[in-house]
Structure 1
Amino acid sequence: MTDKNNAPAINIGITSEDRAAVAQELSKLLADSYTLYLMTHNFHWNVTGPMFNALHQMFMDQYTETWNALDEIAERIRALGHYAPGTYAEYGKLSTIAEPQGVPSAMEMIEMLVKGNEAVAKTARAAFAKADAANDQPTADILTQRLDVHEKNAWMLRSMLQ
């Protein structure tokens, strides 16, 4: 069987309904991850104060890691047979993370990034449930990695607030 473009139908052992459900959850993760990436990069550029150097470097490490993960998430959506969202408008509809207004103080930046990393972790956890139910191990692997990164980032940032 082929699809409308005469390409062979996807036959990887996951139903089309399950692939669609997982792809939708991954699209939410992509939107949250991109929003967090953009916020972290913004804060890297605009942080000021006595912790400037430490925060500037930490933010760069975090946004670089997140940037590299975006491609992996989007490519998994494509491997499941769906198109990845790729516009600000789509991300705005899918993301659970609110964009900052103005330039927050360094401590407010840290607080916002804690919440942002926690939001991405929650989104990844919800997607993991769908992937696990669909017996989709490659997606589950990506999601486990994302959970580890964002929970660790949240912990490190939260520690700076104590």
Structure 2
Amino acid sequence: MATPSELRVQRLVITDEAGRTRAELGLAPDAQEPQLVLYHPNGQRWAALAMVPPPGAPEGPREAALLLHDEAGKTRVSLGASGRSSGMVLYDPRGIAGLALYMEPDSQGLVISDGEVPRIHLRYNQHDDTPLSELILQDEQKGTQATLRGGRGGASLNLYRPDGERTFQAP
């Protein structure tokens, strides 16, 4: 029996003995980008390999991403990469981003969020060939509470009141 050299379909669906969909390979309906989706035996998404916008980014360029879901179908882990950046986001049981690790051409960092606001941001930047390490603490209104910066010129610490006015600076 001759083996066909090519199979062309718009969508490939793999089912188990009970007729439940367990995997799909096709184009995402919203973006017409290829995606592979694996399903949990209860029918919820378990994992997906797709082209998606980076987490938290406005609609625009997409990146290759691996999305891992829990038994309820909520995204719990997102790994993404593009020609410009890469990163990982961990989500809480509600599907809300809580921890992000990223790498971009001039900066890399870690962001810890309360689900609404990035509360702690630890990053390393290269500005005009000057390395700068920063720790930034924010309140629930995205107001900066404290910054600790270190670089070639030494370190500095700034503390702020809720209205944004600096109350302490060293040096």
* TM-score bin (small chain): under 0.3
Highest CA radius of gyration, 1 or 2? Answer: 2
TM-score by length of 2: 0.21
User: Greater relative contact order: 1 or 2 (C-alpha under 8 angstroms, separation 6 or more)?
Assistant: 1
| Structure 1 or 2: more helix by fraction | 1
